[in-house]
Amino acid sequence: MKNDKVNTVGNDEQYEVPLPNENGYFGDYGGRFVAETLMQPLLDLEAAYKKYMSDDEFLTELDNDLTHYVGRPSPLYFAKRWSQEIGGANIFLKREDLNHTGAHKVNNTVGQALLAKRMGKPRVIAETGAGQHGVATATIAARLGLECCVYMGEDDIKRQSTNVFRMKLLGAEVIPVTSGSRTLKDALNEALRDWVTNVDTTFYIIGTVAGPHPYPVIVRDFQSIIGRETRSQCLEQIGSLPNALVACVGGGSNAIGLFHPFINDTDVAMVGVEAGGEGVASGRHSAPLSAGVPGVLHGNRTYLMQDECGQIESTHSISAGLDYPGVGPEHSWLKDIGRAQYETVNDNEALQAFDRLTTLEGIIPALETSHALAYAEKLATVMGQGKIIVVNLSGRGDKDIQTIATLNSITL
Amino acid sequence: MNRINICFEKLDSDGNKGLIAFVTAGDPSLDATPEIMHALVAGGADIIELGVPFSDPMADGEVIQRASERALSHGTSLNDVLDCVLKFRQKDLDTPVVLMGYCNPFQQMGLDPLASRCKEVGADGVLVVDLPPEEAAPFKSSFEPLGIAQIFLVAPNSPVERIRKICEYASGFVYFVAVKGVTGDKQFDGHEIRENIERTKSIAGIPVGLGFGIRDPRAAGDAAAISDGVVVGSAIVEIIEKGKTVSEISENVTHFVQELRIGINGSV
């Protein structure tokens, strides 16, 4: 792999991509449920995306940025001590935490910001939950000289203050969102309101595989580099494909990035892990795939947490990045066709896995990622020795130390 | 014949333009809503757009967002909104009522049950903000057979091929969005949209209403001069927000709508 050209979207022959259809549907999910003012901009974006995905100059620039700015390929690391402690399958970590800015989010912002530049938009906006997507957007905006404005729920601003400061250092304006539940869902509403108001000058860099078509495709394609690298690295380092892939799912971008290149490898199990919060039975969670029903939010049809009248319910998770009542439409489809399975992990279980990885491997994971780690521990025990699990280590946990300290009544 | 069509035909034969007034159902309370609707009609509103509150109103500015929050805080459901229409119909059999809202609450009720209930309570049309024609086929097949109008938005940036597509699906009237933005935000500029609204009128074959950014009698007059009907929302909702009692709200709303009506009459 290390001698290969970094494999970008659009020129991959390993697998076919039959979906979505021309209206952006993955089975019953997806689509474009937006007010008319956003329809033409979405169609323009789709056309530009198609054009540049077959433009050699664009793809070369993207490759270059991913290699020399982001630091790709990211390592596939065998977490030997942690695996032995659990006493089951061998667990490998796809180290997206080692990317510039510390999470997988930058894979997508690099790509979308290059699109923004090509489309002549001088201003980018983003929504953010944990702040990782906001930081990744602010970072690339600084590098390309784009004006940047990030919407973030007031509650998330409090629990992710380090990332807020990072964004401000990078020159972005961080706008607190005080409507609704003051978390990621409301930041997305506010970003959409900004976009519809400033659509002539502004490119909306959506951070997850949700939103109206073509966003779920664009984000998936830019994030699929995770899975493509993982697939080659497994073949090179292990000599076989893994038995299972595990990733946390909020909107679902790191999960789809890992899963997608394995979609036709039907022997490879794919498990998405949602935030169980205080337990699914408590009602205080963020697990639409496990406990929701289909509906329409933020421009697409997908599984949602909602009441019987179709009002979106508030969510709960210790991790701001998973605190979202919807999920990318492709995950809804993968669930329905049974190609991927979706499980939940509670706040406490995630915290325990956070501790174990930190102390056994010297890797401090993000709280979002810790959900995937906790499930991988259970799965490793069930699968047993000789099996291979790859967990997407989607982000590093520096941003969460304040939350962890508060939970342990420690003042930093 | 649908009340919306009758209404516009009458306006046309009188040489007048329509005034379409928006309020959010359940704001400040479900009991108040039918009374406020009557107050709008008393002031000279021709059509009422009744907002169905939604938890995530992404096309609305702060004023209507707050109205939705107030309505939802005491649990206003789509069923409750339909009950408001039924109550309104006890005293008013002529004024068209259009339900305006977001896709999810409508879909959760089920489109066939929703269409039958609209028919039953006397709701004449539905405007789903986040439903472009590309997604509208299921709505059409439920609403059209029962004669419930489906109102669609045309935007300042809709190119001619989209305007055609939208007008193919639209019935009752077409709602031209006067500004790029959310409700109650920017002031509309007649010069900027003149060309596109003319184009829409020539394609539509049905009346074209103009809304977003129209908040006083003068703007209403300017909007009426280039359209068949003027939609005013946030400015009315603000009056409701400030009112202390339902009778005070009704009085102020009637007075404001009268002023809008004068603005519109002055332009025709």
CB contact under 8 A, A34 and B103: no
Query: Residues 37 to 96 of B: which have CB under 8 A from any A CB?
Result: 54-59, 61-62, 65, 69, 72, 77-79
Give the mean model confidence (pLDDT) for residues A297-307: 98
Q: Which of B59, B108, B162 sits opposite A39 (nearest CB)?
A: B162
B182 within some domain = yes
**Dist CA B32 CA B25 (whole Å):** 9
Q: What is the pLDDT of residue A15?
A: 55
Residues of chain B below pLDDT 50: none
In a domain, B203, yes or no: yes
Number of domains into which chain B is organized: 1
pLDDT beyond 70 at A8:
no
Residue B237 lies in a domain: yes
Q: How close is the nearest chain B Cα to the Cα of A32, in Å?
A: 7
Q: pLDDT (tens digit, 9 = 90+) per residue, B105-126? A: 999 999 999 999 999 999 999 9
CATH code for position B72: 3.20.20.70
**CA distance to partner chain A, nearest, from residue B54 (Å):** 6
Is residue B123, in this structure, part of any structural domain at all? Answer: yes
> Would the pLDDT of A1 be above 80?
no
Average pLDDT of chain A is 94
Q: Given this model, what pLDDT does residue A112 score?
A: 98
In this prediction, residues A125-144 reach a mean pLDDT of 96
In a domain, B183, yes or no: yes
Task: Say whether A36 and B104 touch across the interface (CB within 8 A).
Answer: no
With cut-offs at 50, 70 and 90, classify the pLDDT of residue A293. very high
d(CA A32, CA A153): 24
pLDDT score recorded for residue B185: 84
Token match 């009522």: residue?
B97
pLDDT at position A72 is 98
Contact A193 B55 (CB under 8 A): no
Q: How far is CA B62 from the centre of its chain?
A: 18
Residue in B58, B129, B180 closest to A199 by CB: B180
The residue in chain A having the minimum alpha-carbon distance to the alpha carbon of residue B179 is A197
In terms of Cβ atoms closer than 10 Å to its own Cβ (0-12, 13-18, 19+), residue B90 is exposed
Judged against a pLDDT cut of 50, whether residue A4 lies above it is answered with no
**What pLDDT shows up at residue A17?**
64
Is the predicted pLDDT of residue A351 greater than 80, yes or no? Answer: yes
The answer to whether residue B3 is domain-embedded is no
**How far, in Å, CA of B7 to CA of B4, rounded?**
5
- What lies within 8 Å, CB to CB, of A360 at 6+ separation is A79, A81, A82, A85
Structure tokens at A172: 């972005």
What percent of chain A shows pLDDT beyond 90?
90
Interface of B with A in 106-165 (CB under 8 A): 106-109, 129-132, 134-135, 152-159, 162
pLDDT at A16 over 70: no
Domain that holds residue B129: 17-265
Is residue B6 domain-resident?
no
Structure tokens at B7: 């209404």
**B60 is a catalytic site residue:** yes
Are A32 and B155 an interchain contact pair (Cβ–Cβ within 8 Å)?
no
- CB B162 to CB A36 under 8 A? yes
State how far residue B42 is from chain A, nearest Cα, in angstroms: 31
Q: What is the pLDDT of residues B52-66, one digit of tens each?
A: 999 999 999 999 999
**Do residues B46 and B18 touch, judged by C-beta distance below 8 A?**
yes
pLDDT of A272 over the 70 cut: yes
Which chain A residues have any C-beta within 8 angstroms of a chain B C-beta? 23, 31-37, 39-41, 179-180, 185-186, 189, 192-193, 196-200, 295-299, 304, 306, 308-312
Q: Does the structure show a pLDDT above 60 at A83? A: yes
Is residue B7 situated within a structural domain?
Answer: no
- Return the residue in B77, B99, B108 with the most chain A beta carbons within 10 A, the one to mutate for interface testing: B108
pLDDT of A96 = 98
Does the structure show a pLDDT above 70 at A3?
A: no
What distance in Å separates the CA atoms of residue A333 and residue A292, rounded to the nearest whole number?
Answer: 14
Question: How confident is the model over A216-226, as a mean pLDDT?
Answer: 98
Query: Which is nearest to B232 in space by CA: B171, B193, B184?
Result: B184
Looking at residues A362-371, what average pLDDT do you find? 98
